Structure 1
Amino acid sequence: MRADGLLFDKDGTLFDFAATWNAWAFDAIHGFAAGDSALADRIAEALAFDLTAKQFRPDSFVIAGTNREAAEAVAAVVPGADVDAIEIKMAQDAARAPLVPAVPLSPYLSGLRAKGLKLGVMTNDSEFSAQAQLDGAGVSGLFDFIAGFDSGYGAKPDPEPLLAFADKLELAPERVVMVGDSTHDLIAGRRAGMQTVAVLTGVALTEELAPYADVVLPDIGHITDWLTA
């Protein structure tokens, strides 16, 4: 097998991004706008969200950004807004979002662990949201490491949070695979000296991801065969 550990991004990787977050963001934008359609338009523009299509634009920073960055963008256009309060509300609401797994996660992750692989999650979402969502999916106990942008290791595309996973599990970085749906994930993996796998369950297309990936796969379910190919 070509690796000893797999480190997954969360949104767009473990969970299908569009199926999970587009409807949530549409409701969140209107919630912050409190019935003001002009304000909803400004919030949507700040987040690069298409209100008509009810989806994030491919160029939206939210796709790979941190919860704090999204909160700051909303606060910048909402009169009298408190960025800290917005960040907390986003994290709490996101923790309750109805997630759509990219594949049936419990049997998939259990199968990887049975092969002796160490598993982790590193997301630019908050650790609180990540833990709550993985708990809700019934799979948090299958991971050896769960970290968010606020866990003290930094955020992608910096390599430090990825190296923290390798250090904690005593794995050589070159024997770890960073799996993600964005260039942030893959660039972080390359900077950490890890192998990189891109999946297409996010927003980015193959041509955007391929320059930074050892392989581009439809979803995480295809990784098992790739590991032993």
Structure 2
Amino acid sequence: MNEIKGLLFDKDGTLFDFAATWEAWAAAFLTRLCGGDHDRALQAGARIGFDYDAAVFAPDSIVIAGTPGEVTAALLPLFPELSGPQLIDVLNEEAARAPQREAVPLIPLLTGLRGRGLALGVATNDAIVPARAHLAAAGIEDQFDFIAGFDSGHGGKPEPGQMRAFAEATGLPAERIAMIGDSTHDLVAGRAAGMICVAVLTGMATAETLAPLADAVLPDIGHLPAWLDARHPITG
């Protein structure tokens, strides 16, 4: 069994708890975007799989695994006063200010993983500017050897461009890298790149949905050290 030498993380739902971070933010964002018009906010929420009144995402919401461009395309027909670039700018600016809820305490976890000699990266379907803002706010941006958003030139998931870019940047073969994510997009992308795939349950997808695509399903990324130890036990 090849020893894992690199870990590539999704961001939302993996490093950060998806529901705790984004559901309250989405309700406030739609309220602002719609100027307090409740009916318009309901319509906008429905277009992106978000129940505005209940402040919850549907499991198949485009926001969960989609790119800002895809979210913008879904919303744009309701906002003819805005161009596509204007709306995506508003979305990215608001997203950059979203307070993130860590899935587990990230600084000690990532410090420990780096201490094992692992290369670390982030591959997200978020835009790179808000992604880096979220990582910086959590004090972890400098823990990563590679950070890519959907607009970094490698494409977005479920295509494997970001995965291949991480492998190239670190000089690691794909089979020595684990892709860790909370959505089918993450796992499909990792598998297409030839990586080991690890699912976590801090997003909106269930274990039943993720398990067929994953080599392992963990409650959260805090279980990674024990999982790594189980794969490669230290023998005396």
- Quickly name the TM-score band, shorter chain normalised: over 0.9
2:234 corresponding residue in structure 1: none
In 1, distance between residues paired with 2:137 and 2:38? 33
Are the counterparts in 2 of residues 15 and 101 from structure 1 also a CA contact under 8 Å?
yes
Find out whether 1:43 has 2:44 as its counterpart: yes
In 1, distance between residues paired with 2:79 and 2:38? 12
Secondary structure of the corresponding residue to residue 166 of structure 1: helix
In the TM superposition, structure 1's runs of 4+ consecutive aligned residues that sit over 6 Å from their partners are none
In 2, distance between residues paired with 1:226 and 1:54? 34
Return the letter of the residue paired with 2:108: P
Bigger shift: 35-44 or 19-28? Answer: 35-44
Of all paired residues, the percent bearing the same amino acid is: 53
Shift, 1:77, TM fit: 1.6
2:68 corresponding residue in structure 1: 67
Number of matched pairs: 229
1:185 corresponding residue in structure 2: 186
In 1, distance between residues paired with 2:122 and 2:36? 37
Return the letter of the residue paired with 1:45: A
In 2, distance between residues paired with 1:116 and 1:150? 29
Are the counterparts in 1 of residues 18 and 203 from structure 2 also a CA contact under 8 Å?
yes
Return the letter of the residue paired with 1:185: D
In 1, distance between residues paired with 2:143 and 2:72? 30
2:108 corresponding residue in structure 1: 107
Shift, 1:42, TM fit: 1.1
Return the letter of the residue paired with 2:195: M
Bigger shift: 142-151 or 39-48? Answer: 39-48
Are the counterparts in 2 of residues 43 and 78 from structure 1 also a CA contact under 8 Å?
no
Gaps of 5+ in 2: 231-236
Aligned-pair Cα RMSD in Å: 1.0
1:121 corresponding residue in structure 2: 122
TM superposition score normalised by structure 2: 0.95
TM superposition score normalised by structure 1: 0.98
Shift, 1:58, TM fit: 0.7
Deviations 1:92-131 (A, max 9, x none): 1111111100011011000000000000000000000111
